[in-house]
Chains A and B, each alone.
Chain A
Amino acid sequence: MAKKQAMPKSAPGTHVSTKDIVNKKIAYTWWEPEVQYSWSVGPAMSRFLEELKNGKIVGRKCRKCRRVIVPPRMFCEHCYGPTDEWVYLKDTGSVETYSISYLDADARRIKEPILVGVVSIDGASPKHGFMHYFGGMKPEELHIGMKVKAVWKPKEEREGSIRDIIYFEPVKKGGRKK
């Protein structure tokens, strides 16, 4: 059984127009929080970031699940046990998926599109890897399954960040072109 509607079909008064906002007839309040954090990254990510400085990618192995996890974690979310050992991985991998972004962070169109995607790292279990940028290729060349290799920042510029890898570029026969 339908209830009687208590609300009027339309509220009385005048609609707010853009003009009212421009003419500051609408009251607003404004506040900018000054909030800062500094997260301790723990043993797994500390080692991972430290090894990036050395130009190396390191993962953790869960013996029970026979899984090599990268980025590394101290516990395995599948079996819920602690992971067992460190494993050095290659800095090559294959493109798991990708997208070509024509917008910047402010949603403005950009001329040179940004190539972004997920790389499965060689030596880690299938579908283990991380998100990164692609470069050294035309957008139309990028495809799923493409073999790629990390392009590192010069050693002295590395700071223990995932951005110590500038991007992943295609693996070319006979080594990487400089």
Chain B
Amino acid sequence: MNKVCVIGVGHTDFNSMTPDMEWKEFMYEACQKAYVDAGIDPRKDVDSFITCAEDYYEGFGIFDEFVPDQIGATLRPCGTVCGDGIHGLGNAFMQIKTGLMDIVAIEAHSKVSDLLTFGDVVLFAFDPVFERPISGPVERPNFAGSPSYTKKAPKPLIGSSKETERIHPYFLAGLEMQHYLRKTGTTEEQCAKVVVKNKKNAFRNPYADYEARIRVEDVMESEYMFKPVKSLDIAPTVDGAVCIVLASHKKAKELGVDPIYLSGFGYCSETPWLSTRGMDAGYAKVAAKMAYKMAGIKKPRKEIDIVEVDDKFSYKELQHLESLGLARSGEAAELLEEGELDVKGSLPTNTSGGLLGVGNCLEATGLQKSLEIVTQLRGHAGKRQVPDCEVGLAQSWRGIPTGTGAVAIFTREGR
């Protein structure tokens, strides 16, 4: 079967707000750079286009319709995946594997600074009968998107006329982190070290927006938001767009590019019942199993040289590493403290700065992670370059309140 290669990547700068550009111009920048990187003309060479977006984040009904112009897809096969960027990569992967398409472009972005009520959109993703009523309307986040706690409900919808304080939907992270710490013996300090590491890594990533030189104490002293989650444990939201161009191996050779291979991907969703589903990122476990099998990876810890895992909250990085089979339960924090997750360690993790350092870019998360892996495997990562990396893993989670995740495996050699 066709091997699938990455032949081009492009991205915008990542910024907490981008009032200078419309979302269309933002997408255009990322895609144009990717096409130039691949050395192709999208109007002739790209067979199919995919955007990954969620209508409520965008503020448009049927966002799909607004996509073609800025990605070069006017009057061409084009579709939107309502999911993370890696879901889009997976779709493109299949289109190429079938032999139907030779070159497919995938774009994902976050223009979350246009969304004034991020918390309300998150809440709107809760089950309307059972789970939404116990949460509630929330204050507008500021432009950096840091969530606020509670606000007075404007008027109770059903039931008593008494005004009640309502909770921010991010409390779910508090529940899960509490569970994770207890189950694995990981401490809050160890989670704080994830924040320190990622924000430090972000200094070496020119497009990251939340780089900072902070100490563990700074994280520990930051306010509790949803105990045990503190304000610095949360990845602040960011605007950013990424485009990746995939091609069949044959086409990549014709174009004369030095490809990185997309050798496996997997995706999975858990039950939406928040109170009964697992709290150990089972979605990552299943998605990784699928991806490992496809890429022929038997011993992930030994075979994988670099990983980018979802760190929308600090503990998520450790939890995901364990779910991906890269550490035993409770071992991720030890690896972190031993320096193994550093750029120079044996399992470099989130060298881009992760979402804690780059910013939470919503549905673009998977592509931001993939972008970093491809950049590293190409040897283009500059000061943060991990030497001799051959196999990299990108993993994403669709964020609260979802139980959906995806994994992509990239390799230097075709498999």
Contacts and interface: CB of A to CB of B under 8 A. Distances in A.
13 contacts: A29-B133, A33-B120, A34-B117, A36-B115, A37-B59, A37-B114, A38-B114, A40-B20, A40-B22, A40-B114, A74-B28, A77-B69, A80-B32
Interface in A11-46: 29-45
Given A30-B158, A34-B120, A77-B74, A39 B114 contact: yes
Interface string B67-93: 011101010000000000000000000
Contacts of A41: 22
B157 A30 contact: yes
Contacts of A34: 117, 120, 137, 154
Of A34, A35, A77, A78, most B-chain CB atoms within 10 Å: A34
The majority secondary structure among interface residues of chain A is loop
Nearest to A75: B28
Contacts of A44: 22, 25
A79 interface: yes
Interface in B118-153: 120-121, 123-124, 128-129, 132-133, 137, 140
Interface string B31-47: 01001000001110000
A39 B21 contact: no
A73 B66 CA distance: 14
Interface residues of A, number: 24
A32 B133 CA distance: 11
Contacts of A45: 22
B99 interface: no
Nearest to B121: A35
Of B24, B123, B157, most A-chain CB atoms within 10 Å: B24
Given A29-B129, A35-B124, A77-B72, 15 more contacts: A31-B128, A32-B157, A35-B120, A36-B120, A39-B59, A40-B21, A40-B114, A44-B22, A44-B25, A73-B24, A73-B69, A77-B74, A79-B43, A80-B32, A80-B42
A67 to B, nearest CB: 13
Closest 7 CB pairs of A and B: A42-B22, A37-B59, A77-B69, A36-B116, A40-B19, A77-B74, A80-B72
Given A31-B132, A34-B117, A75 B25 contact: yes
B25 A39 contact: no
A43 B25 contact: yes
B23 interface: yes
B413 to A, nearest CB: 33
Interface string B102-119: 000000000101111100
Give the interface residue-count category, chain B.
35 or more
A154 B59 CA distance: 32
B22 A80 contact: no
B351 to A, nearest CB: 31
Nearest to B57: A37
Nearest to A45: B22
B126 to A, nearest CB: 10
A36 B117 contact: yes
B375 interface: no
A29 B28 contact: no
B124 A33 contact: yes
Contacts of B72: 77, 80
B43 A39 contact: no
B128 to A, nearest CB: 5
A78 B74 contact: yes
A42 to B, nearest CB: 3
